[in-house]
Amino acid sequence: MLKPVSLIVATILIAALAVKFHITSGTPFVEFTSAIKSYYLAATQQIDEWLEMHFAQAEAIERLQEENRQLKQDHVVLNAFASEIINLSKLKGYETPPNFRVRVVRALSYAELPDMRKIIVDYGDLKPTEIKGLIYNNEAAGIVVASVGNYAKALLNGDSECSYSVYIGDARTPGIVMGRSEHEMIVRYIPAWMSVNEGDEVVTNGLDGIFFAGVKVGKVVKVNRLNAYIEAIIKPYYTAFNPDYFYLVETSD
């Protein structure tokens, strides 16, 4: 097939020759040039159609690629949203005692890596010197201790600075539980004459205003009887280090 430019040049030359030599219509030469013109017009039309189809396909491909990128982004967002809904649905609802209420807060990040027991939660209403308890499905999970901009710093069970008041066993023996390691806590300042036994359940007593009474903390696994007081090593119920949502304990106004 002749190129369009070649066809144009050939047609111009033939037309010029026809004028110069007074070639009239109906001669084989004129019929030949007419055939070339027709062929050229058909060829240019095909080229125009092909170009139009090519650019339309290119635009369609670009549009589909953009739609595919958007769908991938939407897929990521939907997966993240679904994960958040699943995590939130794991929180079990329950009634709080009078003068208390709970508020759902979300873990945003770790506060001091590599320490995974210090986290940042989306709570911006903590007043100076206030301490709030964190609960995960009726298990004491830690405490909120300080404001960090519009958020707050929390210490999970196991952190050495995480402490709150508790009762031990049916005798309701009082003490202060403190973090010791990732899977261990210790109850200190237990009066030496009081009863503490392995297997006793430890719950919050609510006397410090951090938690309300009865939130489960853990079980006693070892008892150390010292001269002036008793220490109880406990295995806490909440030891998760992939935090998501918690209930934060607030007092009712």
What are the DSSP calls for the chain, one per residue? Answer: ---HHHHHHHHHHHHHHHHHTTPPTTSHHHHHHHHHHHHHHHHHHHHHHHHHHHHHHHHHHHHHHHHHHHHHHHHHHHHHHHHHHHHHHTSPP-PPPTTEEEEEEEEEEEEETTEEEEEEES---PPTT--EEEESSSBEEEEEEEEETTEEEEEETT-TT-EEEEEETTTTEEEEEEEEETTEEEEEEEETTS---TT-EEEE--TTSSS-TT-EEEEEEEEEE-SSEEEEEEEES---SS--EEEEEEE--
Quote the pLDDT of residue 48: 64
- Pair (153, 212) in one structural domain: yes
Residue type, 248: L
- Pair (99, 213) in one structural domain: yes
Quote the pLDDT of residue 53: 73
- Pair (74, 120) in one structural domain: no
Distance, in Å, from the CA atom of 201 to the CA atom of 206, rounded to the nearest integer, reads: 16
Among the listed residues 200, 211, 109, 229, the one whose alpha carbon sits nearest the alpha carbon of residue 162: 211
Quote the pLDDT of residue 67: 65
Residue that finishes a domain, picked among 68, 86, 104: 86
Among the listed residues 123, 120, 156, 122, the one whose alpha carbon sits nearest the alpha carbon of residue 140: 156
213 close to 97: Cβ distance less than 8 angstroms? yes
Quote the pLDDT of residue 137: 82
Residue count (the chain): 253
Q: What is the count of structural domains for the chain?
A: 2
- Pair (37, 162) in one structural domain: no
Residue that finishes a domain, picked among 48, 68, 86: 86
Residue ranges in the chain whose pLDDT is less than 50: 1-2, 21, 23, 25, 74-89
Residue that finishes a domain, picked among 54, 86, 118: 86
Q: Can you give the residue range of the structural domain that contains 186?
A: 93-253
Distance, in Å, from the CA atom of 89 to the CA atom of 66, rounded to the nearest integer, reads: 34
114 preceded by a cis bond (ω within 30 of 0):
yes
CB neighbours (10 Å) of residue 178?
19
- Pair (64, 157) in one structural domain: no
- Pair (139, 98) in one structural domain: yes
In three-state form (DSSP H/G/I as H, E/B as E, the rest C), the secondary structure along 118-141 is: EEEECCCCCCCCCCEEEECCCEEE
Distance, in Å, from the CA atom of 208 to the CA atom of 224, rounded to the nearest integer, reads: 24
Main-chain phi, psi angles of 11, to 5 degrees: -65, -40
- Pair (217, 166) in one structural domain: yes
